Amino acid sequence: MSFDTVLPVIFMALMGISMLIYVISDGYDLGVGLLMPRATAEEKDVLIASIGPFWDANETWLVLGIGILLVAFPKAHGVVLSQLYLPVTLMLIGLTLRGVAFDFRVKAKSSAKPLWDKLFFAGSMLASLSQGWMLGRYISGFGEGWNYPVFAAAIAVALPAAYALLGAAWLVMKTEGELQLKAIGWAKLAWAPVVIGMVLISLATPWISATVRERWFALPEIIALMVIPIFTGIALVTARVLLDKAIVRTTLCWLPFVALIAVFVLGFIGLAYSIYPFVVIDRLTIWQAASSPAALKVILIGVCISVPAIAAYTVFSYKVFWGKATALLYA
């Protein structure tokens, strides 16, 4: 296989990894936003402080993923965005609303803070629902018929619950005392809906897509593929068991969060296997949608500069601001 043939695969992998990092990193801070109504006024300041140094950098991975789709797979970019124009617009409105509410609430008077808190929650919910709908439509190959919107709506409802669970696990890791105990309770409440949603969606996906059904239920592949749902179940059960243990209130408070990251990674592996070699399932393969090899080589130079820079900044920000969150202090 020549380098020109491999190049589209490299860019597809980079795009997929960028979106995975985005879903995990921005997923937990969207989850924190969804949990805002459950916190007291003082606790909300700690919730905001727990994601304050990270949320901007987290969204950079979304920009990178969409940017790669635009420049490396322009044909797929046209198909995807033409099908998802409205939910993409709603997602951007939600993310913008979150950003505005985040910045304004830290300078707002006490009487105005509840308004910005509500807007922060609304932006988080709108972005989460939109992302779930887009994922559902993408997995189904933008099919026509009553069952496809129902499938997308199911994922749209399930994804905010998954984000809330991830956000609660983040707060278990980043907070202490009474708020940490509350976060443990929030995680327990979110766990069951997430598991039920994952099981139902996993059962519905082969029904909604013949391509996915053929991939997952062919022999002998199905034997090897069973590793993914088995380990996903183990990770979910591990996270739930840990929430009942005193160990999560010690220096090992990061364990449930890591277990949930494993769930998202395994889901990504399953999705990648399901759609490869398509960029748009059943419509465009990686090679059909890719830019010319000459263009990809030029783009690769930029990627080799930008991706390490983004990764280094992300790692640096997490290293500097690691540790327990405290209430916001602004002059």
DSSP state string for 157-218: HHHHHHHHHHHHHHHHHH--HHHHHHHHHHHHHHHHHHHHHHHHHHHHHHHH-HHHHHHHSS
Rg (CA), the chain: 20
Looking at residue 88, its pLDDT comes to 92
Could you give the CA distance from residue 288 to residue 113 in angstroms, rounded to a whole number? 50
Residue 278 β-bridge partners = 285
Looking at residue 171, its pLDDT comes to 94
Q: Where are the domains of the chain?
A: 7-320
Its pTM stands at 0.92
Looking at residue 329, its pLDDT comes to 54
| Half-sphere exposure in the Cβ direction for 104 (13 Å, CA) | 16
Looking at residue 8, its pLDDT comes to 92
Between helix 293-320 and helix 55-72 the angle, nearest 10°, is 170
Query: DSSP per residue over 75-138, as a string?
Result: HHHHHHHHHSHHHHHHHHHHHHHHHHHHHHHTTS-TTTHHHHHHHHHHHHHHHHHHHHHHHHHH
Residue 159 in tokens: 């994804």
Q: What is the mean pLDDT of the chain?
A: 89
Closest CA to 60 of 26, 98, 108: 26
Residue 46: CB partners within 8 Å, gap ≥ 6?
39, 175, 179, 325, 326, 327, 328
Looking at residue 320, its pLDDT comes to 84
Q: Which amino acid is at 11?
A: F
State the Cα angle at 170 between 169 and 171, rounded to 5°.
Answer: 90
- The sign of the dihedral angle between the CA atoms of 133, 139, 142, 145 is negative
According to DSSP, residue 36 is labeled G
Domain range 7-320, CATH class: mainly alpha
Are 128 and 158 contacting, i.e. CB atoms less than 8 angstroms apart? no
Residue stretches of the chain with pLDDT short of 50: 330-331
User: Helix-strand-coil percent breakdown of the chain, rounded to 5?
Assistant: 80, 0, 20
Are 111 and 24 contacting, i.e. CB atoms less than 8 angstroms apart? no
Closest CA to 285 of 141, 123, 116, 87: 141
Count Cβ atoms within 10 A of the Cβ of residue 220 and give its class: 0-12 exposed, 13-18 middle, 19 or more buried: exposed
Looking at residue 263, its pLDDT comes to 95
